[in-house]
Structure 1
Amino acid sequence: MAYARYVAIGDSQTEGLGDPDGKGGWRGFADRLADVLAHAATDLRYANLAVRGRLAHQVREAQLDAAIALRPDLATVVAGMNDLIRPSFSAAAVVACLEDMFASLTATGARVASLTFPDLSRLSPIMRPLRNRVLDLNAGIRTAAARHGVVLVETFGYSVTTDPRLWSPDRIHASPVGHARIAAAFADALALPGSDSGWSMPLPGTRNSTVADTVAAELRWFSSFLGPWLYRRLRNRSSGHQLTGKRPTLAPVTPPAHGPA
């Protein structure tokens, strides 16, 4: 199926943080997926309403109606990571927001795609307490997606999704390689021309770390990323304060001449 109007909603992952576009902005999996879609439909128009730092209920409140107004025939909904790392996290509350977005968008006739979250506990020892949260959230997402016919990318069961090379140093945002894999996973789930399951294959080569390397990496991460994040939380200030979606209206997409990367 060729899509003519693709709208992406969500948080920083959909905005593209971690994947520089070379022009001072961010590319990300949604832009990369739009390139794939544009090869199948030369008249594709694409909008990206996502804003970093948004919780699931904020995505629903600020982006859902705007997305519906654009009359997409394809929409991606990715939210919940910012909720997952908050002390007040409720899997049921996040799933309720996601399901509301699934229901509202599919009711318009749009095809909707979303994803489950990888096992974050494998990224860092300090993230191990999040594993049960991820399991609960993923279970709810699967149920909601099945109920509304949402195309779902499964990431939890694949070891590659927790390969550090797919993540930025902050361990919250995907790296360029990670965003490329996410885009490829969506393309595969949507059965787009030229797509396959290669996104789920391990990256070549391995990296062995000593205990000293691991401790040093954890200390760098805490001082460079976790500390500033906690400081913003204490100030109740989002990283996306006063920001709006980077591509708020549908606009044509010119795919790279060499094909999607």
Structure 2
Amino acid sequence: MAHGWTSFAAIGDSFTEGVGDPRPDGTFRGWADLVAAGLAQAQPGFRYANLAVRGRKFGQVVAEQLPVAVRMEADLVSFAAGGNDALRPRFDTQALIDRMDRVVGQLRTSGADVVLFMFPDMSVRLPLPGVLKPRIVAMNQAYTEVAARHDAHLVDLFADAALHDPRLWSDDRLHLNAAGHRRVADHVLATLGVTDRPAPAGSTQLHPRWPARRAADLRWAGAHLGPWLHRHARGRSSGDGIRAKRPELSASGFGTG
């Protein structure tokens, strides 16, 4: 059974902001908006805030968004961060793990129920899988342990084979598309006891021939990897100048459309 939450604050990076799931007006929807809409169906006056900003690393999420979420006193808070850290050459796994425990402890002490995530395996789509996958596994193990220690809700996206399907991802291979965000929302609502679990993945994985894969890789590198490397070499972020899309708890504007 659902808990009966009256407010939800989502904090994190592009994953939580909803990048990859654009509305007709160019703003992003995403799984957190869909979860808020689902929770609101059973709770009149339900309020929702989304503080997430694309490109933010773990420390930035903690410094910029965590204090705001705590002050809001929302009774449900989602926290998803670390993916951008894992993409950087220098990645201190243990330091991030130690901070996870303190962050979730602070949220739980504030009285909020907390939603955490095991990340999907980005290494199946991105370069250097031998470097990236161990980092993802380490973060997922840490989130699992922290969730158990603080009695947080843990959404396991790593085990969902459907999220290996490229048709659930944007062309940049980094952000979910509308179908992918819908799948994540279904997982979150099921974890919270609102809906049933999404159906297991069927035979959805595409296996194009080698020439087609290489051609697609080259197009992706030119359109997405090259600009990403150039931006980060200049110390820039996709989130520069971007503000949270829902900086206050509000009871309107997060329908499913």
Q: TM-score range by the shorter chain?
A: over 0.9
Provide the identity percentage. 39
Tell me the secondary structure at the aligned position of residue 43 of structure 1.
Answer: coil
Alignment deviations for residues 76-127 of structure 1 (CA, whole Å, 9 cap, x no partner): 0011110111001122222233322211111111110010112222224643
Amino acid at match of 2:215: A
1:216 pairs with 2:215? yes
Matches within 5 A, 1:38-57: 38-57=40-59
Q: Distance in 1 between matches of 2:44 and 2:146?
A: 32
Amino acid at match of 2:246: R
In structure 2, the partner of 1:207 is: 206
Q: Distance in 2 between matches of 1:152 and 1:43?
A: 26
Q: Distance in 1 between matches of 2:71 and 2:158?
A: 33
Tell me the secondary structure at the aligned position of residue 78 of structure 2.
Answer: strand
Which of the numbers 45, 62, 66 marks the counterpart of 1:64?
A: 66
Amino acid at match of 1:92: Q
Q: Distance in 1 between matches of 2:16 and 2:207?
A: 31
Which of the numbers 133, 136, 141 marks the counterpart of 2:135?
A: 133
**Structure 1 segments (4+ residues) deviating >6 Å:** none
Q: Distance in 1 between matches of 2:207 and 2:213?
A: 10
Tell me the secondary structure at the aligned position of residue 182 of structure 1.
Answer: helix
Shift of 1:49: 0.5
In structure 2, the partner of 1:247 is: 246
Q: CA distance change for structure 1 residues 152 and 72 in 2, over 3 Å: closer, same or farther? A: same
Amino acid at match of 1:67: A
Q: CA distance change for structure 1 residues 105 and 226 in 2, over 3 Å: closer, same or farther? A: same
Q: TM-score under structure 2 normalisation? A: 0.94
Gaps of 5+ in 1: none
Q: Distance in 1 between matches of 2:184 and 2:98?
A: 24
Instruction: Report how many residues are paired.
Output: 255
Q: Distance in 2 between matches of 1:213 and 1:41?
A: 49
Tell me the secondary structure at the aligned position of residue 197 of structure 1.
Answer: coil
Q: Distance in 2 between matches of 1:190 and 1:89?
A: 31
Contact 2:62 2:103 in 1 (8 A): yes
Alignment deviations for residues 140-161 of structure 1 (CA, whole Å, 9 cap, x no partner): 1111111111100112122112
Bigger CA drift: 38-47 or 113-122?
113-122
In structure 2, the partner of 1:33 is: 35
In structure 1, the partner of 2:13 is: 11
In structure 2, the partner of 1:116 is: 118
Q: Distance in 1 between matches of 2:101 and 2:63?
A: 13
Q: CA distance change for structure 1 residues 59 and 124 in 2, over 3 Å: closer, same or farther? A: closer
Amino acid at match of 1:89: F
In structure 1, the partner of 2:181 is: 179
In structure 1, the partner of 2:196 is: 196
Q: CA distance change for structure 1 residues 203 and 180 in 2, over 3 Å: closer, same or farther? A: farther
Gaps of 5+ in 2: none
Tell me the secondary structure at the aligned position of residue 27 of structure 2.
Answer: coil
